[in-house]
């Protein structure tokens, strides 16, 4: 028999109680996995929108969110004219609404935008893009949830636009969003002469630093960030990630209380047994290790349950129409590792008081205890 | 193994009270036990037999007095742990085995405490189980055993780490007359064959008389009788 079997025997003895502890951690794990998966997935999708066919993003300095960034058309043109610039695609972000769908992401893009080129056109064609006023182009998921077909009139904000094309892209944000020709978007969002961000592809990527310096020198109000640099510094991503971790940690806190409760009951119900272990030569530390071991076992079982549960939820969510295809879960190794560490730390913290209590049981007194 | 005649337990003027002094139990108890001696602690219920055994075994701490057990001071935490691990074994009135574990698993608990290799434990466990007559039940759960069998397992467990002293607190107290007799003989037999010193608390005259020496616990003191 190993130390471990001594730990497991007690969990087996009170299966229901152990299960409650496991469920506590399991729900924490599942909540964290789901939230982080969704947030990271969303961030990933957003990153890929920006990174489409580009190396650098040019945006307004010191804006809290890309939606508020303004890069003037003449600056865009000047940057496009730089010798090292292969392409510079303007992108104007906006939010539009349609009855029943208050938040639909809208992309204002130029007709030669590579997104349009890469997309699979389900109806209509790229050639029509920007040719006629009053037209809108829908991502395929957006077309689905708006129940719109080619030639339909769809209410967008205060006006009605005609569907001139439906395009399928692999990116959930784009596919669940709508596209307007840049000029129409500038008009619609009252942002004449600006875009939110300019996505720049260089001819010689190794000369990126020079490009960055050139842009920032010539246009003091703008900043050029490499994609990776942008992702790390973008405030909104950070807020989203922090929120996700915070919500997840709260879920864990409850799980930790569950473990504390389970472990306390476990200790109280076998005071005599612990006294006997002490009589048999167990040190205070060994008794504490037993309790911590039990808590960690609960955490491990909770992790297994939580990952299974979370994976099931994440696999189901994309099929729910309400999410408009925005859910493309992305669970990286760092998230998995973070969740595992959090679960174990939570369980260990929950076991501190019970372990202290257990290791301080006085054998003589406890043996008189019936 | 102890030297013949070596003093295993020496208690001098031990005092112990409970409830902040309101329940005086031991008031200057002294006793000495030598290697190989089987000594009965005999006295009325509540006289303090268990308390004395607990002090000797380091399960409780005396307020005053000198204690020396197998060369250790049971009043010190570090000595207490070493004592319990390698020098003494306890047998109680209730078997105090872990009910959901098998006999063999229960017997491995003391070895687990000292981190002894499993193979060595297995050999010792087999040998002792043969000697106490439970070798055929090693894989059974404690709850499937009779009272007498449980007490055999408890004795076996107490001897696992080859102690020099056995402290037995009414080991026959919850058994019927015949079984009690059997367990007592077994204890005595094992003690003799291993050269153990035994301190056995009992209030049954027949067992007290079958020991090498009787010590009477009364009024908080220990008398020869
Ligand atoms: N933790 C405690 N708090 C208060 N009183 C205690 C405590 N432990 C023991 N006592 C008291 O100390 C006295 C001696 O108890 P002890 O168990 O040593 O007696 P005993 O001789 O072993 O009796 P028995 O033969 O019934 O087992 C008893 O009066 C008991 O009530
Ligand atoms: Mg007693």
- The dihedral over CA atoms of B43, B49, B53, B59, expressed in degrees to the nearest 10, equals 170
CB–CB contact A281 B161 (8 Å): yes
Looking at the predicted structure, is the pLDDT value of residue A370 above 70? no
**Contact partners, residue A228, CB within 8 Å, separation at least 6:** none
Secondary structure class of A133 (helix, strand, coil): coil
DSSP-derived secondary structure letter, B21: T
Instruction: Give CA separation, A356 vs A275, A282, A370, in Å.
Output: 14, 14, 22
Banded model confidence at residue A323, pLDDT cuts 50, 70, 90:
low
Atom of ligand 1 nearest to the CA of A365: 1
User: Over its length of 225 residues, how does chain B's per-residue pLDDT go in tens digits?
Assistant: 677 788 999 999 999 999 888 999 999 999 999 999 999 999 999 999 999 999 999 999 999 999 999 999 999 988 999 999 999 999 999 889 998 889 999 999 999 999 888 888 999 999 999 999 999 999 999 999 999 999 999 999 999 999 999 999 999 988 898 999 999 999 999 999 999 999 999 988 899 999 999 999 999 999 988
Mutate which of B14, B27, B51, B168 for ligand 1? The one with the most ligand atoms within 8 Å of its CB, which is B51
Classify domain B7-97+149-224 at the CATH topology level. Rossmann fold (3.40.50)
The structural domains of chain B, with segments of one domain joined by +, span 7-97+149-224
Token pair belonging to A296: 């960690």
Banded model confidence at residue A1, pLDDT cuts 50, 70, 90:
low
Distance (angstroms) between ligand 1 centre and the Cα of B23 equals: 9
Return the sign of the alpha-carbon dihedral for residues B16, B22, B23, B28: positive
Reference A175, options A60, A278, A323, A349; nearest CA is A323
Nearest CA to ligand 1 atom 6: B18
Token pair belonging to A94: 């906006």
- What is the distance between the alpha carbons of residues B181 and B187, in angstroms, rounded to a whole number? 10
Banded model confidence at residue A149, pLDDT cuts 50, 70, 90:
very high
Mutate which of B14, B17, B24, B25 for ligand 1? The one with the most ligand atoms within 8 Å of its CB, which is B25
Token pair 């030639």 in the structure block, residue: A151
Banded model confidence at residue A326, pLDDT cuts 50, 70, 90:
low
DSSP-derived secondary structure letter, A190: T
Q: What is the pLDDT of residues B186-224, one digit of tens each?
A: 999 999 999 999 999 998 889 999 999 999 999 999 998
Token pair belonging to A251: 């879920």
Measured between CB atoms, does A4 come within 8 Å of chain B? no
Chains A & B: contacts with CB separation below 8 Å: 64
- What is the distance between the alpha carbons of residues A307 and A319, in angstroms, rounded to a whole number? 19
Nearest-Cα distance to chain A for B70, in Å, is 16
CB–CB contact B109 A277 (8 Å): yes
Looking at the predicted structure, is the pLDDT value of residue A46 above 70? yes
ipTM computed for the complex:
0.93
Contacts 24+ apart (CB under 8 A), B204-210: B204/B172, B204/B180, B205/B42, B207/B40, B207/B172, B207/B180, B208/B40, B208/B42, B209/B40, B210/B184
What average pLDDT does range A81-105 have in this prediction? 92
pLDDT of residue A233: 77
pLDDT of residue B1: 64
Nearest-Cα distance to chain A for B179, in Å, is 23
Measured between CB atoms, does A333 come within 8 Å of chain B? no
- What is the distance between the alpha carbons of residues B36 and B194, in angstroms, rounded to a whole number? 8
The structural domains of chain A, with segments of one domain joined by +, span 2-46+237-366, 62-220
Query: Residue A368: nearest ligand to its CA?
Result: 1
C-beta of residue A7 within 8 angstroms of C-beta of residue A290: yes
DSSP code string of A268-325: HTTHHHHHHHHHTT--HHHHHHHHHHHHHHHHHHHHHHHHHHHHHHHHHGGG-GGGTT
Query: Residue B23: nearest ligand to its CA?
Result: 1
C-beta of residue A36 within 8 angstroms of C-beta of residue A327: no
- What is the distance between the alpha carbons of residues B45 and A106, in angstroms, rounded to a whole number? 88
Atom of ligand 1 nearest to the CA of B23: 5
What average pLDDT does range A143-169 have in this prediction? 93
Measured between CB atoms, does A14 come within 8 Å of chain B? no
pLDDT of residue A322: 65
Token pair belonging to B41: 């602690």
Backbone phi, psi, residue B222, to 5°: -115, 130
Q: Measured from the CB, is residue B25 less than 6 Å from ligand 1? A: yes
Looking at the predicted structure, is the pLDDT value of residue A369 above 90? no
Distance (angstroms) between ligand 1 centre and the Cα of B50 equals: 7
Looking at the predicted structure, is the pLDDT value of residue A281 above 90? yes
Looking at the predicted structure, is the pLDDT value of residue A258 above 70? yes
CB–CB contact B59 A5 (8 Å): no
Looking at the predicted structure, is the pLDDT value of residue A9 above 90? no
Q: Measured from the CB, is residue B49 less than 6 Å from ligand 1? A: yes
Nearest-Cα distance to chain A for B18, in Å, is 11
Measured between CB atoms, does B87 come within 8 Å of chain A? no
C-beta of residue B187 within 8 angstroms of C-beta of residue B171: yes
Q: Measured from the CB, is residue A365 less than 6 Å from ligand 1? A: yes
């Amino acid at each position: 028999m190993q130390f471990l079997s001594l730990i497991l025997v007690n969990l087996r003895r009170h299966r229901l109680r152990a299960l409650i502890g496991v469920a506590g951690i399991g729900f924490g794990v599942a909540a964290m996995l789901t939230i982080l998966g969704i947030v990271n997935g969303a961030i990933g999708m957003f990153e890929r929108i920006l990174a489409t066919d580009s190396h650098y993003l040019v945006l307004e300095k010191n804006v809290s969110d890309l939606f508020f960034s303004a890069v003037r058309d003449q600056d865009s043109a000047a940057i496009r004219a730089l010798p090292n610039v292969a392409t510079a695609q303007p992108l104007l972000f906006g939010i539009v609404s349609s009855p029943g769908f208050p938040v639909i992401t809208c992309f204002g893009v130029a007709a030669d935008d590579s997104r349009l080129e890469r997309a699979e056109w389900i109806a209509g064609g790229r050639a029509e893009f920007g040719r006629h006023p009053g037209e809108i182009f829908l991502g395929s998921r957006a077309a689905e949830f708006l129940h719109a077909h080619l030639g339909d009139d769809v209410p967008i904000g205060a006006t009605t636009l005609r569907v001139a094309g439906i395009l399928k892209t692999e990116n959930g944000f784009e596919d669940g969003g709508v596209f307007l020709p840049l000029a129409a978007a500038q008009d619609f969002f009252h942002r004449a002469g600006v875009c939110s961000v300019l996505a720049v592809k260089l001819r010689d990527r190794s000369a990126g630093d020079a490009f960055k310096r050139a842009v920032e020198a010539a246009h003091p109000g703008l900043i050029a960030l490499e994609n990776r640099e942008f992702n790390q510094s973008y405030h909104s991503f950070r807020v989203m990630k922090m929120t996700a971790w915070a919500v997840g940690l709260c879920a864990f806190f409850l799980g930790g209380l569950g473990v504390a409760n389970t472990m306390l009951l476990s200790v109280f119900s076998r005071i005599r047994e612990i006294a006997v272990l002490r009589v048999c030569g167990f040190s205070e530390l060994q008794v504490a290790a037993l309790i911590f071991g039990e808590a960690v076992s609960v955490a491990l079982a909770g992790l297994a349950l939580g990952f299974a549960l979370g994976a099931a939820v994440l696999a189901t969510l994309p099929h729910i129409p309400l999410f408009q295809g925005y859910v493309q879960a992305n669970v990286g190794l760092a998230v998995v590792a973070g969740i595992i560490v959090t679960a174990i730390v939570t369980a260990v913290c929950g076991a501190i008081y019970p372990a202290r209590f257990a290791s301080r049981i006085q054998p003589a007194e406890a043996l008189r205890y019936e | 193994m102890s030297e013949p005649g070596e003093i295993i337990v020496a208690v001098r003027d031990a005092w112990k009270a409970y409830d902040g002094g309101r329940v005086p139990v031991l008031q200057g108890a002294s006793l000495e036990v030598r290697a190989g001696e089987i000594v009965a602690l005999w006295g009325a219920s509540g006289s303090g037999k268990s308390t004395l055994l607990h002090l000797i075994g380091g399960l409780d701490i005396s307020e005053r007095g000198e204690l020396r057990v197998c060369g250790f001071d049971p009043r010190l935490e570090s000595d207490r742990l070493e004592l319990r691990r390698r020098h003494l074994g306890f047998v109680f009135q209730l078997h105090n085995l872990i009910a959901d574990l098998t006999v063999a698993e229960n017997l491995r608990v003391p070895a687990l405490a000292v981190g002894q290799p499993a193979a060595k434990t297995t050999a010792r466990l087999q040998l002792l189980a043969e000697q106490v007559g439970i070798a055929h039940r090693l894989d059974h759960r404690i709850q499937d055993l009779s009272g007498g069998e449980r007490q055999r397992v408890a004795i076996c467990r107490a001897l696992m780490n080859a102690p020099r002293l056995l402290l037995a607190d009414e080991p026959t107290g919850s058994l019927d007359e015949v079984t009690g007799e059997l367990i007592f003989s077994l204890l005595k037999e094992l003690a003799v064959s291993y050269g153990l010193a035994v301190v056995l608390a009992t209030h049954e005259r027949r067992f007290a008389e079958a020991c090498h020496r009787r010590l009477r616990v009364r009024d908080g003191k220990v008398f020869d009788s």
